[in-house]
Amino acid sequence: MAFTVILHVASEEPIVGEVEQLPTATDVTITIQNPRRRDGKDMPNLAANVTTVIFPMNRMTFIEVVPSEEEEKIFGVVRE
């Protein structure tokens, strides 16, 4: 199951992509597929045909895990 994540890289714009598994505390790199900016546009510093990028974890400020549509349906907000 692929997870959509937002990588917050130190001194860079956030990067959206998919990972096969979430990183563990011992990982030194994170590999993402389909890297793009948050607005869905291509990354200007990558070649046009790049589909997978490996980043060092020491450059990450934090990583957001975006909920899937299925999770949003299950854990929807209840208002009274």
Domain ranges of the chain: 3-74
Distance between CA atoms of 79 and 38, rounded to whole angstroms? 29
SS3 58: helix
Structure tokens at 65: 């895990």
Model's pTM, two decimal places? 0.80
Q: How would residue 70 be classed by pLDDT, with cut points 50, 70 and 90?
A: low
Q: How confident is the model at residue 36 (pLDDT cuts 50, 70, 90)?
A: very high
Helix (H, G, I), strand (E, B) or coil at 76: coil
Read off the DSSP letter of residue 41: P
Which CATH topology does 3-74 take? SH3 type barrels. (2.30.30)
